[in-house]
Structure 1
């Protein structure tokens, strides 16, 4: 990640969390503490009012009169940016494709509007799936999460699960609040899963600070967690290969379904569409909509899933 990206993340993290230590920033950004102090120095030279509070419960804080306001883009403006990031590619002669996509993700992350109801197609350039992510007030959520961590109180959250397409109530002991790839995440112990999980703030429908006390384990390391689960914050982690029949080949080739898709033409006129998705459930219904004209080649788990559903349909008819 570039220095400018890290500086922007530092501003946003300090602004929202109120007080942040050098160790927390170092773990979140994946740098050492000396680098964090150099970043703070650079911000001060740029007249960004970041100050240091010394002592056991000290850290960095930002002047309350300074505020980096969200872009407050309209749905149409944000959609235009997302579309531009898909059209302007290296293949089309635009050499700053990666930088543009990173910038758009960051703008998207701070342009959440409670009245907007964007879908996953806007987010990834792929499939149309209703997304509950933009409900609620981002600043209120961050404030409540920060408060619960400072007081050692568990959170009760109403969380939207894309792969199950429903809301579930979770009790979470929050360990860290981080900003990655344009999104805010709560990392903490999930009592339902009996494991440390990450939760996107824009998928939390509602949350409430409980009276239940917890203690963050001294064995937990944010740096180790991020190293082991980095793909959760990067996406594009599950490869899906779909075989389409000849009668569908032109239709599939003429449309940009996903930003990382690849198409192979077979000798018999069939084609193979390869792409990477965050969750195979996101693509299941889309593929089944093509009927016999589409066949999942991989992953095997998705093939079996569709097979079971077809068997249930066969029993009904």
Structure 2
């Protein structure tokens, strides 16, 4: 990523985060701390009011009077851009399709988050209304998260789960917020699921700051965690649940299929493999390779795809059965 891109991300993060450290910024931008200090110097030379606090618990913050708004597109401008993204594809011979799609996603996220009157556009591009967290403004959500991080308070969050297409209630210990790939994310420990998670802030519907206190663990390393979870910022992940019969359970347990996998053991000897993945195409082929010994439980969309594949396969075998028999008999 270019220096200019890093500087813009720094400005946006400092604008919304009340306080952040050089180490945290270095982890998010994947640079060393010396580079962060050089970036800060550059911003200060450009008259961006970045303030520093020295000492053991030092870091950076930006003057609250400073505010840089996202550029807003007109409704027709965004609509034309989205339509163009449907036309300019690899199938249609557009060589830069991947880069163009990436740019459109970033612009779309920013524009839809900032404009509450684009409801029909959201439906036009299958952008579910729940994705926008429309019950609470972005500024309110960021303000509550910042307060909870400062005071060490647990958050009660209503979150739109994309893989379940429903709203879930979760309790989260907020560690940090970060801006990446045109979107805002909350990193924290989900007490409900008992694991660290990255939540897309645009899919948070409501936030309540509770009176419950939490302490951020000293052994949590943001850099290491982001290295494992960076794919989150390239696309939405889906929770995959696959049930394996007891005949093959030991084989599945003995192998490492994915870095974030979890295995749930059932009383009858069967198991359920949990994984978060971006691309469902490859995992579908993998699941089908286990035949009747594997069953997709979630997401429903993947289950239906596997079911459809099996149905088409069955039809093919039934349709060609007589032909195969005739050939065999002639032989």
In structure 2, the partner of 1:78 is: 78
Secondary structure of 1:188's aligned partner: strand
Cα distance 1:82–1:48, how it changes in 2: closer, same or farther (>3 A)? farther
SS class of match (1:226): helix
2:31 match: secondary structure: coil
- Report the structure number with the largest CA radius of gyration: 2
The answer to whether 1:132 aligns with 2:130 is yes
Aligned length: 253
Where does structure 2 lack aligned partners over 5 or more consecutive residues? 239-276, 289-295, 309-331
Match in the other structure for 1:306:
304
Q: How does 1:117-266 map to 2 (within 5 A)?
A: 117=119, 118-119=121-122, 122=125, 128=126, 130-134=128-132, 135=134, 136-235=136-235
Question: Tell me, what secondary structure is at the counterpart of 1:229?
Answer: helix
Q: CA deviation at 1:201?
A: 0.4
Q: Aligned-pair distance for 1:95?
A: 7.6
TM-score (norm 1): 0.69
Q: CA RMSD in A?
A: 3.2
Q: CA deviation at 1:229?
A: 1.2
TM-score after normalising by structure 2: 0.66
Match of 1:30?
Answer: 30
Q: Which residue of 2 aligns with 1:243?
A: none
How far apart, CA to CA, are the structure 1 residues paired with 2:218 and 2:105? 33
Preserved contact between residue 231 and residue 278 of structure 2 (Cα < 8 Å):
no
State the Cα deviation string for residues 12-56 of structure 1 (Å, max 9, x = none).
Answer: 000001222111111111111011111112222333222212234
Residues in 2 aligned to 1:102 and 1:43: alpha-carbon distance in whole angstroms: 27
Deviation at 1:98, TM superposition (A): 6.1
Alignment of 1:88-127 (within 5 A): 101-111=101-111, 112=113, 113-117=115-119, 118-119=121-122, 122=125
> Structure 2: how far apart are the matches of 1:303 and 1:208?
32
Residues 50 and 131 of structure 1: CA distance in aligned 2, closer, same or farther (over 3 Å): same
Distance change in 2, residues 1:54/1:107 (3 Å): farther
